[in-house]
Amino acid sequence: MTALPVPPRGAQPDRAARRTDPIPADAATAIVDRVRRRLANSGLAATRSAVAGLVREESGGLLGDGHLLQLVRTAEDEMSGAGAVEPFLRDPEVTDVLVNGPDEVWIDRGHGLERVPVRFADDAAVRRLAARLAAAAGRRLDDAAPWVDASLPDGTRLHAILQPVSVGATRLSLRVLRPRAFSMDELVAAGTVTGRARVLLTDIVRGRLAFLVSGGTGSGKTTLLSTLLSLVDPAERIVLVEDAAELRPRHPHVVRLVARPPNVEGTGQVSLQDLVRQALRMRPDRLIVGETRGAEVADLLAAMNTGHDGGAGTVHANSAAEVPTRLEALGALAGLSRDAVQGQLVAAVEAVVHLRRDRGGVRRVQEIGLLRRQADGVVVQPAWRWDGGYCEAGERLQTMLTVRAECTL
């Protein structure tokens, strides 16, 4: 245990230095550990006043106000926040925080991953943080259940996996969800959407075409879908069905339904299928099913085949052309045949909007395509491409949008 340095007898402390100089990491860790143990043994709630009082006691009253506030915040983050990575979760530019071990932390500010000079005391500290965050999400994380995928109360997406399943160290991944959707102007300014794509996407939403947003992990699918849903007529009622509450449209009439996994006793599960059934009884004008990663593709296609125009969802795929194949593979997990998936897909979905993230970290709409059934199955034909390449379905999209616009007059 490292003691805080004590000034020489008779020396006058430099108050400015005491406010600004960082506390040695070992000393700060030791104080926070002692405060944590005292709170645990006393049964007191980790309120700001209780933490501040214990920090002052454990420091021997040698800290100035600046250092005291620094340690209080560190202790609060350790006991009720995200510990050493809490400052990054507060940063409005950070989208992902990845902990690969006690001395290896990466973040993404929208321009690719960057390593940051943050460290935990040891792997046990990372494991404690992961277990506490899992508990905050109402989930279990221990040797019997060594991984967790859940949403924290503020919407942050949590994934953690423990040793020895994760070789060498506990791994923690946090995906930060912002409390509001970006406007279309902001996406254009960021280079995600071009001027022409903006016009087409706006017409697709207002024309009530059913569409899927596809792309890889971190490509901006949820962000784009939230923005597009913000363009829906304010008089319409949007019902969102999600595995985790991630969509944040700026719209006055949104109903959110979120699935729930079974508890530790194996009961209490609420599936996407259950929620789709409930959503249909809630008079939706638009029924939206969030990210599809497995057998829930059956629920997505079922929801989009209920006669509600303008439905939407997201799916992982490497390109727009691969969306039908991707859905067929996921449909197999749900026991659906290729013909069944393709039949439902072509009946339910009209357009695919594909996003790609380049090496510089810029997310952009790369392609807008239309689905069409051919002799060898369902295909996605390009209707607009970011690179200006040939689009065989370009005229067909314009015709569809013109007809839909006339129908809404």
pTM exceeds 0.75, yes or no: yes
Query: Looking at residue 326, what is its pLDDT?
Result: 93
- Whether pLDDT at 96 is above 60: yes
Q: Give per-residue pLDDT as tens, 225-247.
A: 999 999 999 999 999 999 888 89
User: What is the arithmetic mean of pLDDT over 125-153?
Assistant: 89
Place of tokens 């530790």: 264
Computed on alpha carbons and rounded to an integer, the radius of gyration of the chain in Å comes to 25
- Helices then strands (H, E): number in the chain? 14, 14
> Which tokens in the block code for residue 117?
């000079």
- Whether pLDDT at 17 is above 60: no
Predicted confidence band at 31 (pLDDT cuts at 50, 70, 90)? confident
The Cα–Cα gap between 187 and 181 comes to 10
30-37 contact pairs (CB < 8 A, 24+): 30/1, 30/2, 31/4, 31/55, 31/58, 31/59, 31/71, 31/75, 32/71, 32/74, 32/75, 32/78, 33/121, 34/58, 35/75, 36/75, 36/78, 36/79
51: closest CA among 88, 20, 78? 78
